[in-house]
Amino acid sequence: MGPLQCNCTILGDEEAGEAIVIDPGDEIVRIERRLNELRLELKQILITHGHIDHVGGALKLKRRTGAPILMNENDLPLVKMMGQQAAWLGVETPEVAAPDENLADGMTVGLEKIPAQVIHTPGHTQGSVCLHLAPMKLLIAGDTLFAGSIGRTDLPGGNGRQIIDSIQSRLMTMADETRVIPGHGMRTTIGEERRENPFLTGSW
Ligand SMILES: [Zn+2]
């Protein structure tokens, strides 16, 4: 979605007719159209971190669907500086609001049949979280882990040592076959990143 091509994920339980949306950064009409096509009612809007390309469309989507927004409270300062974030990209400032609920470490969110565990992985930002959908062997990684790379740590709230520590201690403990949907770019797996990601193998 949007100019930075953030990966927005829709996960649905077709039997229950319910869905969650992760990181609706932009193009809300497109997300809504897809939910309607799939006949899914949106239950939660989950935000991996407070950067504009991930959270920019959340309030609009909330207004159109009534679903609550959940984001880690440590990224509230980033939400408050949305004007500055928009200026970095040279885009219009989206209307944003504080989340309805804090995505705290260890909490279970998502749908009854699609539970997602919140893993706080600070480093890209202080409020960055990953969502682990253990029954699906799926990790939604936000901008913490990418295929062959990791999130940048040079923006406000970023910390290079902390992101490596978060990945090593919280993500690399998962099974090799865990599929990873990063915040940008191609999908990968935990095993592939463990073997080949230069930021983790020490070859960088
Ligand atoms: Zn980001």
72-125 pLDDT tens trace: 999 999 999 999 999 998 999 999 999 999 999 999 999 999 999 999 999 999
DSSP 30: H
Q: How far apart are the CA of 146 and the centre of ligand 1, in A?
A: 11
Please give the distance, rounded to the nearest whole angstrom, from the Cα atom of residue 54 to the centre of ligand 1.
Answer: 7
Task: With beta carbons less than 8 A apart as the criterion, state whether 50 and 79 touch.
Answer: yes
Residue 204: is its pLDDT beyond 80?
no
Q: How many residues does the chain have?
A: 204
Q: What is the pLDDT of residue 35?
A: 97
Rounded to whole angstroms, the Cα distance separating 156 from 89 reads 15
Average pLDDT, integer, range 193-203: 92
pLDDT surpassing 60 at residue 189:
yes
Tell how far the Cα of 124 is from the centroid of ligand 1, in angstroms: 7
**CB atoms < 10 A from the CB of 144, how many?**
28
pLDDT score for 152: 96
> Concatenated DSSP letters for 177-204?
T-EEEESBS--EEHHHHHHH-HHHHS--
For residue 203, the model assigns a pLDDT of 67
d(CA 57, CA 24): 5
pLDDT for 202: 80
Q: Where are the beta strands (DSSP E) in 7-158?
A: 9-13, 18-22, 41-46, 69-71, 101-102, 108-110, 115-120, 129-133, 138-142, 145-146, 149-150
* 155 burial level (CB within 10 Å; 0-12, 13-18, 19+): middle
Q: How far apart are the CA of 4 and the centre of ligand 1, in A?
A: 10
Distance 1 CA to ligand 1 centre (A): 13
* Amino acid, single-letter form, for residue 145: L
Beta-carbon contacts of 132 under 8 Å, excluding residues fewer than 6 positions away, are 116, 117, 119, 138, 139, 174
SS3 20: strand
Is 38 a residue whose pLDDT tops 90? yes
Question: How many CB atoms within 10 Å of residue 83?
Answer: 11
Q: How far is the CA of 58 from the centre of ligand 1 (A)?
A: 15
pTM of the entire predicted model: 0.95
Q: What pLDDT does 62 receive?
A: 98
